[in-house]
A = this chain, B = another copy of it.
Amino acid sequence: MGISNTVAAKGKRLLMEAALRLTATTRSLSALSLREVAREAGLNPNTFYRHFKNFDDLGLTIIKEMTKDIRQPLRELRRQAAESVLPANGEAHSWQQNPKWNLVRSRQVTRVTVKLFFDYVEQNPNAFILGMRELHGASPVLRNALRAMMKEFSEDIAEDIKELKLLPNSEDESLLDIAEVICREMFSISMDYIEQPEQREQLYNNAEHMITSLTIGHALLRGSGQLLLQATES
């Protein structure tokens, strides 16, 4: 669950999975004991030393695995979503010529991406729980690693917004700030998504509304007011 099979040694994988299980249900990584993890993995305490220097080491290894597992799929999902929404025959593509269709398309891409992201969360809840725990956790090493990971995700988002032309006027670099907010919020909301299954429909709608407000507001502040007005007029 969350730990890909790229990790060679069996014992190593067992330990990582055990840590992931304990972290999600019980405690933060730094609060676990070496013996506890080994016990959960069904191994001798000393085996831990064969694979990891300490808990930061274990945490880093898990985080790297997760990043590798999640990053690429997420981008592909977004690209698929963008390509699946096409204009009606003969209609113009550019924001200048067809603002309304572009806005609809953007929102559609957002909806699909958010949906797929939440599906992903649903399938790997423990990985996300560990991530959020340690992002604000006690270990500076893990905090920094996770921050770097989220920065990469944000850069992906910003890049995709540009390439897929999801916003008018998306040239400037302050788009990255917006992407970071989106990224942080999606991770944050995903905690609620995991813990409150009965609220999922609403969380889904809120997330979409959050992203749309944020991006549209950003575009408006950057001088695309006229276009957006046309796009939102019924």
Residues of A within 8 A of B (CB): 26-28, 30-31, 132-133, 135-138, 174, 177-178, 181, 184-185, 188, 191, 206, 209-210, 212-218, 220-221, 223, 225-226, 228-229, 232-233
Contacts and interface: CB of A to CB of B under 8 A. Distances in A.
A12 B31 CA distance: 24
A132 B214 CA distance: 23
- Tell me how many chains of this kind the complex includes: 2
Of the listed residues A26, A212, A214, A223, the one surrounded by the most CB atoms of chain B closer than 10 A to its CB is A214
B136 A135 contact: yes
B223 A226 contact: no
Nearest to A224: B232
Nearest to A180: B206
Nearest to A174: B209
Nearest to A181: B210
A138 to B, nearest CB: 4
Given A31-B31, A216-B221, A210 B136 contact: no
Given A177-B209, A213-B218, A28 B229 contact: no
A174 B225 CA distance: 23
A58 to B, nearest CB: 15
A218 B217 contact: yes
23 contacts: A27-B31, A30-B31, A31-B31, A31-B138, A133-B136, A136-B136, A174-B209, A177-B206, A177-B209, A177-B210, A181-B210, A184-B184, A209-B218, A212-B221, A214-B217, A216-B217, A216-B221, A217-B217, A217-B218, A220-B220, A223-B232, A225-B225, A226-B229
